[in-house]
Chains A and B, each alone.
Chain A
Amino acid sequence: MEKPVTGTRKVFMTGNETVAWAALAAEADIMFGYPITPQNEIMHYWTRLGAKYDRGFLQTEDEISAGFTVCGAIIAGKKAFTATAGPGNTLMQEPFSMAEAMRLPIVAIIQQRGGPSSGTVIYSQQEVTLTTYGGNGEGHRIVYSTASHQELYDYTIKAFNTAWKYRFPTFVLGDGYQAKMREPLEMYDPEARNLEIIKPSPMVGLPGQIGIDREPQHLCNIYSLEEELYDVVLKVQAEYDGIIPELVEYECRECDDAEILVVSHGVVSRSTDDAVMALRSQGIKVGAFRPITLRPFPSQKLREILRSGVKKMLVVESAYGQLVRLLKQEIYGETVPIETLLMPGVGIIDADIISKVKSLIQ
């Protein structure tokens, strides 16, 4: 069968379409999903493309089922994924928790919408807490926050690789703006860029006769004793801690001599970049730091920057302090004052950030 993407192709498309193509390129086998705006077109494109490239799809009865059918398909050894938003993300925390506990490499694309509750169908950055630390667990997850369609393509492919390599639930955290707007990007065949695609492997239905060639697989996520669970959680935590250096990703702009450091993530970081360029042209020493991985958080790098002469930090987000809380726990002990520009559920443009930064230096 022909590859969905060969060589490199310049395209102009929505973020949702981009994700569907990237999942094809990452050799995803099957998607389970439930309609919720603004992620619907991921399913729309996947169903059409999937028919052409022999990939599976099932629209389940709800998001709980979508998450658990993904778990079942992964246990069976297939690259399965889902996409959701808002209240759907809330419902999926249950299967995500099971995936954390059983080390199932679940991949989920989250296109954040306004909250709480049904909120808006449009845009926000209010699913940071839920995506990084949702569920009754310890946040043993990997969360990439993308800022452009090129990144949606790159990080969707990367999410499958990261999930199957490390066996932690992996999320691509986009938003309604990224989902719905059109942008140019380069789609490519990962192989043509020497990007290895990690192959899936089954946990059940293995070759060989049970009792003769092998023991049966008994997978569980519940333990009889406190101490058993304690040992399991500490082991997973140690593994997670061990891979942090390989996983953390960030971007710095004009950080070297920055006196004011603007911290933002996702699509907001593009406004921050524009604001930094404008402020620099006016001689204001401002820089930008953008965590790409929200879990694990690039705290070591941020601490280094803060210790190199930053006088004030400005955290900007389309939520009321979800990035702020994440950041505070990660840089505990640093004494740089934190200022905020918090606009829950609405877009932030460079002018918002420029005026806020100027108000800080007056």
Chain B
Amino acid sequence: MTQPVMPKTWYVPSKPHKFCPGCGHPLILKALGEAVDELGIQNQTIYGCDIGCSLLSWNFFAMDSTQTHHGRTTPVMVGMKRARPELICVGYMGDGGGYSIGSQHLVNSAIRNEKVTLILANNTNYAMTGGQLAPTTLPGQKTETTPFGRDPALTGNPTMGPEMISSITGDGAYVARGTVAKYRQLKGFIKKALQNQMEGNGFSFVEALSTCPTNWRTNAKQTWSWLEDEMGSFYPVGELKSPFRKED
């Protein structure tokens, strides 16, 4: 039987990886791995990961990597990039790390147009800690801290990350939302987000809609339906800001 081909920049000794069956993280990380492969930047790319499920990727890649604290991957990568601009600094985080505990870092890095690439997995819950409310939890969605469903009157509306970022960041920034349901498109967005840093154009941010069957308590069919139908209709997929010409 033919085995699926792993990206060259996946670190083989740490495989099989530690994510749950059906989790969307490995698809996002596969897209990142393939994008790094295609751009040939394995040796100068530094990968930083947050706390939460994204932490499980701390030794995922055959790239120099560092784990940080919950929400603090953004400033660590910013500090690294400021110190050594020749490095390609990629931060990976969940919706909690980016939109809640680390939101001040995300917002201000975007405003300063920091030349880093951030990839954020949106799976509508805090998964590592057991499925609590996330900034991205959909209205009515049940989590451990919203057991009767999220009520926007009490906890506000879901964070529209790329929409916010694209409205505050500067010229040359790249902002997109992809989904693991459209892998090729997601990989294209991530590749552009890396290219944008390589060219020194500006801040680069990709949100990836992702899956969490463990905490959603869904089977395969329900998982995919939640991702494509529920999340897909709430969170529009596409590029929100790009310095690249359309035909690129």
Contacts and interface: CB of A to CB of B under 8 A. Distances in A.
Interface of A: 29-30, 32, 56, 58, 60-62, 64-65, 68-78, 80, 94-95, 98, 102, 202-206, 208-211, 216-222
A204 B83 contact: no
B186 interface: no
Given A70-B79, A216-B61, A220-B66, 10 more contacts: A58-B82, A61-B105, A65-B75, A68-B72, A69-B76, A75-B76, A75-B79, A76-B46, A78-B83, A204-B66
Nearest to A65: B75
A266 B62 CA distance: 48
Contacts of B77: 72
A108 to B, nearest CB: 14
A64 B76 CA distance: 10
Contacts of A211: 62
Contacts of B58: 218, 220, 222
B104 A65 contact: yes
B104 A76 contact: no
A72 B76 contact: yes
B78 A69 contact: yes
Contacts of B63: 210, 216
A51 to B, nearest CB: 15
B100 interface: no
Contacts of A208: 43
Question: 7 closest A-B pairs (Cβ-Cβ)?
Answer: A72-B79, A69-B79, A73-B83, A61-B108, A204-B64, A68-B75, A72-B80
B120 interface: no
A206 B64 contact: yes
Contacts of B62: 210-211, 216
24 contacts: A29-B83, A30-B82, A30-B83, A58-B82, A64-B104, A65-B78, A72-B75, A72-B80, A74-B83, A77-B83, A77-B84, A80-B79, A202-B84, A205-B64, A206-B64, A209-B43, A210-B64, A211-B62, A216-B62, A216-B64, A216-B65, A218-B59, A219-B65, A222-B55
A68 B79 contact: yes
B184 interface: no
A94 B69 CA distance: 8
Given A30-B82, A205-B84, A205-B87, A216 B11 contact: yes
Interface in B19-76: 42-44, 46, 48, 51, 55, 58-59, 61-69, 72, 75-76
B108 A69 contact: no
Nearest to A72: B79
Nearest to A32: B79
Given A61-B104, A62-B104, A80 B83 contact: yes
> Which range contains the number of B residues in contact with the other chain?
35 or more
Contacts of A221: 67
Contact of A76 (B65, B84, B108): B84
A56 B64 CA distance: 24
B67 A217 contact: no
B228 to A, nearest CB: 33
A55 to B, nearest CB: 11
Given A60-B108, A62-B104, A76-B87, A69 B82 contact: yes
Nearest to B91: A72
Contacts of A32: 79, 82
Contacts of B42: 210
Contacts of A30: 82-83
A73 B79 contact: yes
A178 B55 CA distance: 42
Contact of A64 (B46, B59, B72): B72
Scoring B48, B61, B64, B107 by chain A CB atoms within 10 A of each residue's CB, the highest score goes to B64
A78 B86 CA distance: 13
A64 B79 CA distance: 12
A68 B82 contact: no
Scoring B11, B44, B51, B78 by chain A CB atoms within 10 A of each residue's CB, the highest score goes to B78
A251 to B, nearest CB: 36
Contacts of A73: 79-80, 82-83
A71 B75 CA distance: 9
Contacts of A64: 72, 75, 104-105
Contacts of A204: 46, 64-66, 80, 87
A68 B46 contact: no
Contact of A217 (B65, B76, B82, B105): B65
Nearest to A219: B66
A126 B79 CA distance: 30
A209 B107 CA distance: 35
A47 to B, nearest CB: 14
Contacts of B44: 205
Scoring A58, A77, A205, A208 by chain B CB atoms within 10 A of each residue's CB, the highest score goes to A205
A181 B43 CA distance: 49
Contact of B83 (A56, A206, A220): A56
A94 B76 CA distance: 13
A95 B79 CA distance: 12
Contacts of B59: 218, 220
B105 A76 contact: no
